[in-house]
Structure 1
Amino acid sequence: MATITLKGLAHSYLAQPRNVQMHPQDYAIQAIDHVWKQGGAYALLGPSGCGKSTLLNIMSGLLSPSEGEVLFDDRVVNTLSPEKRNIAQVFQFPVVYDAMTVAGNLAFPLKNIKMPKAQINIKVREIADLLELTDFLDKKAKNLSADQKQKVSMARGLVRENVSAILFDEPLTVIDPNLKWKLRRKLKQIHEQLNITMLYVTHDQLEAATFADEIALMYQGKIVQFGSPQALFEQPNHTFVGYFIGSPGMNFIPIEKSGEGVCYQDIYLAISELQQAALQFSHSANLKLGIRPEFIELSETSTPNSFAANVLSVQHLGSYQLVLVDFAGLELQVRVPEKMQFTGTNVYLVFPSQWLKLYIDEYLVGEPVLENGHETQWESKREDKGDNHE
């Protein structure tokens, strides 16, 4: 088991990439500094093409980075093969030996490290029980279904003792949808039992939140936020985080400075003192307010702090309704209880101040944070390059 540290990690698939700071478009991974602590359950989340698999393959040793270092504990491993890094990797599609039995597949990596036969049998049984493969141990892998083969592939990754980490690259792609939830929970239980560093790559936020204690969200080759599922939902550090996390994602209102607040068109919107202070230091015209559909209050009654809007459509989604409204020419989505009924299309919106987030140049600013148990303030959550998180 190991703590994995990434230092100034950058990678380009071009033969002669230009400087990463001046030409980030040349790079699939852009100067990432990050730490995966020993024994953690992590998810690497992001859309297709954001660099997730590239980063995973660099950590495993399948790919050498163009720049920077990968450290296992305090040892630089850039030139070491996956075997010498003692990494177990489970790929998107199952990798099994069809001619072998399930037991043979699980025993194979243990035979390679010359584990005694009696110990191999015990370990194979233990992992087979964990993944509910005991009844298939004597079956040839070629006779298994695709999802059963993937369970065997996952079991092979888990069977080795004292691995540095187990890396999962979208392992549930071929799994039957009815089994996905069960397998995610099973992986979580296995992590709790074995205390192995696990990194789970996915584009599915539900998979990430179910498995991981902390999520690294990638966007355009950078980690734009690292934290708990709750932190990514409640305090998105970047507009992309707000957009990507949640169903539906965060609403964004383009704004301009106006006195001690901001305005959208000719509508004045009050902001907090911390947000006002952050605006004073900025000359950017790229200003947005963000608020999640869950946190907008909607009613048919006007109040002093409400804003008029018109209902465009209503979707009934079981336990709640998703209401699309026209707010002075801007479409916003509002999540309301299923039992709420409308007598007309005229409604009023309230934006609670604690859920109204200010973004300058796409990054969250003007938010209180806790340091040593005490609330302090900062101008921006953006790190040096927006990708330096530990």
Structure 2
Amino acid sequence: MARIELADLAHAYKPNPTQPSDYALRPMSKTWDDGGAYALLGPSGCGKTTLLNIISGLVRPSHGRVLFDGKDVTDLPTEARNIAQVFQFPVIYDTMTVYDNLAFPLRNRGWKEAETRKRVQQVAEMLELSADLKHRASGLAVDAKQKISLGRGLVRPDVAAVLFDEPLTVIDPHLKWLLRRKLKEIHHELKLSLIYVTHDQVEALTFADQVVVMTQGEVVQTGSAQALFEAPEHTFVGYFIGNPGMNLLPCTLKDGRLMLGDLPFSIPAAAAGQIAADGANITLGIRPEFVETCDAQQADALRATVTSVKNMGTHFLADFRLGQYAVAAKLATAGDLAPGGAAYLRFPQQRTLFYVNDKRVA
């Protein structure tokens, strides 16, 4: 295991980049702690696989350095970095038994057979492959083959890190859920450093202690599931995390007042300077979970029109029209809400966030 440091790292696939859009990976500096479980989360093309391949040595960064425990490995090939990598599709030997597939990485490094057997049995039990150890891999379903790939990545206890590139893509939904939980348990038991690439927020938030959210080649926030949900540092994080995502409502300044359409809002003292800056792109953000319905007489009530109300089983999902803006709310009860009817909404001050040029200021 290793502490992985990315120092002033950036990458462009085209020569002589001049614009931010030329970079597949924009300049960043980050540290991955020894033994941590991280997820790189973002949409296709955001740079997460490029970043993973730079860490593994499959891609050399066009700028910056990669360090393992303080040692510069930027120019080292993959095989010299002591990492394991698990890909989208199974990478195994079909003609070998499950046992031999799992044992191969250890035998290749000169492990004694008794130690190899003990480790293989440990990993096989974790992945529920014990009953298949004597079977040839060629006869197994694709789900089981991908579990073997996971096992081959996890079987070496001395690796600097295990890197996963969307490894559950070919797994059926129910088994995918079980394997996410299993990987979490394995991480806690084996204390391996794990970095996991995915575009699935549920997968990332279930698996990782820290989630690295990326968009357009940039890391916009790193944090726990709770931090990403309750305090997104960037509008993209608010939009991308959650179902539905955060309500993001453009605001303007008028005569020194913050306006949501024709509705005034108090400017948070901590953000007053940035919000008042010339040319600032101001956005109010609030999660659907924190939008409340209230009485018309309440001082901070906002008059809205109900667009739709859906019973989701555990909650009601209501859509409103607030002036020119759409607002979603997750409500415990629907009360007398009906499409086309009037309603009054409240945005609790402690749950309302403000962004300038997409970055949180309060």
SS at match of 2:35: coil
Q: Does 1:184 align with 2:180?
A: yes
Whether 1:76 aligns to 2:72 is yes
Aligned to 2:113: 117
Q: Is the 8 A contact 1:319 1:338 kept in 2?
A: no
Instruction: Identify the match of residue 275 of structure 1 among 268, 271, 275.
Output: 271
Question: Post-superposition shift, 1:342?
Answer: 2.1
Alpha-carbon contact 1:313-1:324 (below 8 Å) kept: yes
Corresponding residue for 1:96? 92
Question: Normalised by the size of structure 2, how large is the TM-score?
Answer: 0.96
Amino acid of the structure 1 residue aligned with 2:302: F
Give the aligned partner of residue 10 of structure 2.
Answer: 10
- Spell out, residue by residue over 1:79-100, the C-alpha distance to the aligned partner (whole angstroms, 9 max, x if none): 1122211001111111111011
Deviation for aligned residue 1:261: 3.9
Residue 338 of structure 1: how far off its partner (Å):
4.2
C-alpha separation between the residues in 1 aligned to 2:185 and 2:203?
14
- Work out the CA distance in 1 between the residues paired with 2:256 and 2:345: 21
Structure 1 Cα separation of the partners of residues 120 and 63 of structure 2: 39
Q: How does 1:1-390 map to 2 (within 5 A)?
A: 1-14=1-14, 16-19=15-18, 23-258=19-254, 261-280=257-276, 282-299=277-294, 301-338=296-333, 340-342=335-337, 345-366=341-362
Compare 292-301 and 135-144 and name the one that shifted more.
292-301
* Cα displacement string for residues 343-380 of structure 1 (whole angstroms, at most 9, x for unaligned residues): 671000111111111111110003xxxxxxxxxxxxxx
Q: In the TM superposition, what whole-angstrom CA distance separates every residue of 1:128-178 from its partner, at most 9, and x where no partner exists? A: 111110000011111111110000000000111211001111111111111
Offset at 1:266? 2.1
CA distance in 2, matches of 1:32, 1:272: 30
Structure 1: distance between partners of 2:307 and 2:275: 33
2:217 and 2:268 map into 1 onto residues whose CA distance is 33
User: In the aligned structure 2, how far is the partner of 1:17 from the partner of 1:26?
Assistant: 9
Give, as a single letter, the amino acid of the residue that structure 2 aligns with 1:2: A
- Whether the 8 Å contact between 1:91 and 1:168 is mirrored in structure 2 is yes
Q: How far does residue 334 in structure 1 lie from its aligned partner after superposition?
A: 1.1
Q: How far apart, CA to CA, are the structure 1 residues paired with 2:166 and 2:333? A: 34
My pick for the range that moved more, 332-341 or 60-69, is 332-341
Aligned amino acid, residue 53 of structure 2: N
In the alignment, is the contact (CA less than 8 A) between 2:99 and 2:134 conserved in 1? yes
Instruction: Read off the aligned partner of 2:60 and give its amino acid letter.
Output: S
Tell me the distance in 2 between the aligned counterparts of 1:155 and 1:24: 39
User: Per the alignment, do residues 92 and 302 of structure 1 end up closer, same or farther by CA in structure 2, a change over 3 Å counting?
Assistant: farther
Superposed displacement of residue 259, structure 1:
5.1
The residue type equivalent to 1:323 in the other structure is A
Give the Cα separation in 2 of the matches to 1:187 and 1:321. 33
Contact 1:300 1:346 in 2 (8 A): no
Distance 1:277 1:64 in 2: 41
User: Whole-Å Cα distance in 2 between the matches of residues 58 and 349 of structure 1?
Assistant: 47
Could you state the TM-score of these two structures normalised by the residue count of structure 1? 0.90
Q: Quick check: 2:37–2:193 contact (8 Å CA) kept in 1?
A: yes
Letter aligned with residue 6 of structure 1: L
Is the deviation greater in 307-316 or in 338-347?
A: 338-347
Sequence identity (%): 49
* Count of aligned pairs between the two proteins: 361
Contact 1:44 1:218 in 2 (8 A): yes
The letter of the residue matching 2:321 is: D
User: SS of the counterpart of 2:283?
Assistant: strand
Distance in 2 (alpha carbons) for counterparts of 1:316 and 1:271: 35
List runs of 5+ in structure 1 lacking aligned partners. Answer: 367-390
Residue 17 of structure 1 and its aligned partner are, at CA, apart by 3.1
Asked whether the 8 Å contact 2:9–2:29 carries over to 1, the reply is yes
Residues 167, 198 of structure 1: 8 Å contact kept: yes
Q: Secondary structure at the match of 1:255?
A: strand
State the shift of 1:256 in Å: 1.3
Q: Give ranges in structure 2 of 5+ residues lacking alignment.
A: none
SS of aligned partner of 1:99: coil
DSSP-derived class of the 1:187 partner? helix
Q: Encode CA deviations 1:230-272: one digit per residue, 9 max, x unaligned.
A: 1111111110000001110011111112456401222111232
Q: Give the match's secondary structure for 2:221.
A: strand
Say if 2:294 and 2:301, in contact at 8 Å, map to a contact too.
Answer: no
CA–CA distance in 2 between the matches of 1:260 and 1:247?
A: 34
Cα deviation for residue 278 of structure 1 reads 3.4
Equivalent residue letter for 1:68: G
CA distance in 2, matches of 1:297, 1:275: 24
